[in-house]
Amino acid sequence: MQVCLGDQVWTNDAHKAGTVEWMLLDPTAQRVNAVVIRRGLILRHSLVVPLTELQVVEMDEQEERLVIRRSRAELDLLPEFRRELFTGALAWQLTGERATPFFLPGWLPPVTPQQPPPSTEVVELGELVRTIDQANAVLHRGAAIVAADGQRIGHLQQLCAELPGGQVIRVTARPGLSLQEIEIPVGALSGADDGLLFLRWWRQDFEQAMRSAR
């Protein structure tokens, strides 16, 4: 059983719940913590769905559905997706410090005479928000693929995770504007950040995989 970007999700009372638009990936463990489903066409909003809420249900011999363990009436009990909470923007607003993988808890930037230091409560909230941010890389179709030398070499096309554990089991990418799609071994992943997927591969490894896929 698996969940992938772009999958349609249904409620357990047979209504469309939404489409998987983002995945929240643990940036060091290559494990998906939750998915974000987009709901609505005009009044759009997004909900965070833990993987434990999802299951694959066999409808008949030729159809399987990805089903959330909730009815349509229960969907709004799920948390709303606030992008700024998962991308560091809220932590920056609270503490005045940009998100970074090298954040030191309790450290604050120098305070100017015109800008008093944030209160203890704000600092604690900022650190909590930063912890949430650093535990979840927000990925979507089109996220940049970055080689080991720091070059952006392609764009994420597909990302799939197993259910219920969340381990990444499939990654595909497209180089530049090309329509060619190549599979990237999960072992080639080295980490992730918001909108970025990092590889252990160098650029030439990626190009070799492209040639082999033709």
Q: Please tell me whether residues 31 and 47 are part of one structural domain.
A: yes
32-46: pLDDT as tens digits:
999 999 987 655 789
Q: Judge contact between 158 and 141, C-beta under 8 A.
A: yes
Range name among 123-127, 172-176, 186-190 with the lowest pLDDT average: 123-127
Domain's final residue, options 15, 49, 81:
81
pLDDT on residue 24: 93
90-143: pLDDT as tens digits:
445 545 554 444 344 444 455 555 666 666 665 555 565 556 566 788 999 999
pLDDT on residue 14: 92
What are the angstrom distances between the C-alpha of 174 and each of 96, 160, 212?
36, 16, 14
The CATH code of the domain that includes 194 is 2.30.30.240
Domain's final residue, options 137, 159, 180:
137
| Burial of 110 from C-beta contacts in 10 A (0-12 / 13-18 / 19+) | exposed
| Residue 147 confidence (pLDDT) above 70 | yes
pLDDT on residue 65: 93
Q: Please tell me whether residues 76 and 95 are part of one structural domain.
A: no
Q: Judge contact between 98 and 88, C-beta under 8 A.
A: yes
Q: Please tell me whether residues 114 and 143 are part of one structural domain.
A: no
Q: Which domain holds residue 109?
A: 85-137
Q: Judge contact between 201 and 188, C-beta under 8 A.
A: yes
- CA atoms lying within 13 Å on the CB side of residue 18: 26
Q: Are strands 16-26 and 31-39 parallel, antiparallel or unpaired?
A: antiparallel
| Burial of 44 from C-beta contacts in 10 A (0-12 / 13-18 / 19+) | exposed
16-29: pLDDT as tens digits:
999 999 999 988 88
Q: Judge contact between 138 and 166, C-beta under 8 A.
A: no
For the segment 190-200, the average pLDDT, to the nearest whole number, is 91
pTM comes to 0.78
Q: Please tell me whether residues 153 and 113 are part of one structural domain.
A: no
CA distance 72 to 84: 26
Strand partners, 32: 25
pLDDT on residue 82: 80
Find, among 51, 35, 47, 44, the residue nearest to 75 by Cα: 47
| Residue 196 confidence (pLDDT) above 80 | yes
**Token couple for 89:** 């923007």
Q: Please tell me whether residues 143 and 133 are part of one structural domain.
A: no
Q: Please tell me whether residues 100 and 128 are part of one structural domain.
A: yes
Q: How many domains does the chain have?
A: 3
49-106: pLDDT as tens digits:
999 999 999 887 778 899 999 999 999 899 888 877 676 554 455 455 544 443 444 4
pLDDT on residue 113: 55
Find, among 163, 193, 179, the residue nearest to 69 by Cα: 163
